[in-house]
Structure 1
Amino acid sequence: MQEETDGPQQIYDADTAQRYDTPGTGMFAPEVLAPTVERLAGLAGDGAALEFAIGTGRVAVPLAARGVPVTGIELSPPMVARLRAKADEATIPVVMGDMATTVAPGAYTLVYLVYNTISNLLTQAEQVECFRNAARHLGPGGRFVIELWVPELRKLPPGQAATVWHSEPGYLGLDTYDVLRQRVVSHHFHFDETGQARLDRSPHRYIWPAELDLMAQLAGFELEARHADWSGAEFTDESRSHVSVYRLPQQA
């Protein structure tokens, strides 16, 4: 049976928030952030954007700098404290709460949820509610954008429960799967120069693209586009992740 770990509010604590930002590298590398911000700015148009699980503002800060009004919803106070070192409440307002039920004031043309974060909701019902929460923030023609990885179950031979998804000097990432409950726990091993290791773990519920599309339909969305990345590469059966754009009908 898959082992359990703490929920998002415990995982994204003060220690994690302090280590989360890696300016210029990893998630914060210009080649990662620039296409993300460019695509979201285009989808927002002349309207405002709402980020679910805004975190430390990795995407929101440069998107706001592009002139897009951005509001956030976030569960972790330490993550918001890090955001506040970059942008004040007037620049990027944040409502504290979970992304499945919390409502932010204002009108939006775009809601977005990046870097696999919808999988932090550990039940199908919560994930469906996340779509419905996005829909309630949008007017006719509004868009909901999700960035999500594709489960790598094809790498699991019979009897094996884990896959290594990233390996580099000083870091090893592996996932352990519970296919019965559609759960995965990501294990992040960080090694220092002495050979000592620090382990961080986070639980997720993985979602197949087809299941994600059904969740969208239940909330009134239609799939507008799906690509393998933010730059618009074709999504194929070999793609390891996708950026999916859902849209409400133009007429309610």
Structure 2
Amino acid sequence: MADTDRTRTEAAPVWDAEMARSYDTPGEGMFAPEKVDPAVARLTELAEGGAALEFAVGTGRIAVPLAEGGVPVTGIELSVAMVERLRTKADEDTVPVVIGDMATTRVAGDFSLVYLVYNTVSNLLTQAEQVECFRNAARHLGPGGRFVVELGVPSLRRLPPGQDGLVFAHRDGYVGLDTFDLKHQHLVSHHISFTKGREPRVIRVKQRYIWPAELDLMAHIAGFELESRHADWQGSEFTGDSGSHVSVYRLPDAD
């Protein structure tokens, strides 16, 4: 078995039925309208009347409202449990989904837009897989087609000297902690939930973090050009202090 296959096997069990239930929080958290609506509006604009393909469609947080707004959406998703959750919101005719890996799986159809939201590209744990993800996006697009990536900026500047972890969120009943492996450019997000009278529940998600410049090089290898980069879906300016970015890559127009 190749190293990349082992990586996918290791990552897949995280997204089981229990994770799908805890991930899917309609109307709250990352599913809140103030999080979802700007992304859907921007993606609708970028699709320019064409069809969209979402890599790692998950439970349909973005795909379902995008389809309801008139953009034909197809998804690729590795986790059957996540798709089962999506099916409680939209049927196969509304949001078709192909089970598979976003770095290699091909989907029939003509698409003007491929998108990948909320740090999902980091779930691919090697640089080679991440490059293949860009190449796979390019294979699904014609001239002028766009690939949109929403991704956090690695927060290494916040690490105190001599430490390899930091708290990224805390509230009643929850603590989020990232630990970093600088040698391999990996981080593990530890999501710790506390319920009265029960043992803490811990979910760990391993990722490979990517700097914006490295992401641009991956895009270049796949034939894309950077069209725009903003700090959020509303179009705020991206600066050296931005904690995340929405990057739009575009294939050259036909001659």
Q: Normalized against structure 2, the TM-score is what?
A: 0.95
Aligned partner (choices 8, 18, 27) of residue 15 of structure 1: 18
Q: Deviations over 1:86-105 (max 9, x none)?
A: 11111111111000000011
The corresponding residue for 2:211 is: 208
Give runs of aligned pairs for residues 1-252 of structure 1, distance below 5 A: 7-194=10-197, 196-251=199-254
CA contact (8 A) 2:165 2:179 kept: yes
Distance 1:197 1:41 in 2: 40
How many residue pairs get aligned? The number is 249
Larger RCO: 1 or 2 (CA < 8 Å, sep 6+)? 1
Distance 1:144 1:115 in 2: 14
Kindly tell me: are residues 219 and 6 of structure 1, through their superposed partners in 2, closer, same or farther at Cα, counting changes over 3 Å?
closer
Distance 2:10 2:73 in 1: 26
Whichever residue aligns with residue 225 of structure 1, its letter is S
CA contact (8 A) 2:52 2:114 kept: yes
Structure 1 unaligned segments of length 5 or more: list them: none
Whichever residue aligns with residue 93 of structure 1, its letter is P
Deviation at 1:142, TM superposition (A): 0.3
Root mean square deviation, CA, Å:
1.4
CA contact (8 A) 1:167 1:173 kept: yes
Distance 2:145 2:172 in 1: 43
CA contact (8 A) 1:128 1:218 kept: yes
CA contact (8 A) 1:6 1:202 kept: no
Distance 1:193 1:240 in 2: 33
Distance 1:20 1:173 in 2: 14
Whichever residue aligns with residue 186 of structure 1, its letter is S
Distance 1:17 1:151 in 2: 25
Structure 2 unaligned segments of length 5 or more: list them: 1-6
Q: Deviations over 1:45-74 (max 9, x none)?
A: 110000000011010000000000000000
Deviation at 1:6, TM superposition (A): 7.3
The corresponding residue for 2:3 is: none
The corresponding residue for 2:4 is: none
Q: More displaced, 185-194 or 30-39? A: 185-194
The SS at the match of 2:95 is coil
CA contact (8 A) 1:5 1:201 kept: no
The SS at the match of 2:21 is helix
CA contact (8 A) 1:116 1:147 kept: yes
The SS at the match of 1:43 is helix
Distance 1:229 1:192 in 2: 33
Distance 2:234 2:198 in 1: 38
The SS at the match of 1:143 is strand
Q: Normalized against structure 1, the TM-score is what?
A: 0.96
Distance 2:100 2:77 in 1: 6
Distance 1:88 1:5 in 2: 27
Distance 2:10 2:192 in 1: 19
Deviation at 1:21, TM superposition (A): 1.1
The SS at the match of 1:89 is coil
CA contact (8 A) 1:177 1:183 kept: yes
Whichever residue aligns with residue 209 of structure 1, its letter is P
CA contact (8 A) 2:8 2:124 kept: no
Moved over 4 A (4+): none
